[in-house]
Amino acid sequence: MKPIRYSVAACLLMLLQACCGDVGSPQWCDKQAQTDKTLWTESEAQDYAQYCIFGDLARPK
């Protein structure tokens, strides 16, 4: 019974990860902007700064 539960949980996790955009995409930046900043991981905070904040400064307008 436990292996089935683990398999279902793993499938759900993969589905949820597939729904959010790639790191650095406009969809991902919007999702992160709506998320409580205290729930971010260190990696997410670094990615947000790199792609969503400083990334705009590097792109020509």
3 state SS for the chain = CHHHHHHHHHHHHHHHHHHCCCCCCHHHHHHHHHCCHHHCCHHHHHHHHHHHHHHHHHCCC
pLDDT at 4: 80
- Looking at per-residue pLDDT, the higher value among 21 and 23 belongs to 23
Q: What is the pTM of this model?
A: 0.57
pLDDT at 41: 94
Cα-to-chain-centroid distance, residue 2: 29
Question: Is the predicted pLDDT of residue 14 greater than 70, yes or no?
Answer: no
What's the whole-number mean pLDDT along residues 25-48? 93
**Where does the pLDDT of residue 47 fall: very low under 50, low under 70, confident under 90, or very high at 90 and above?**
very high
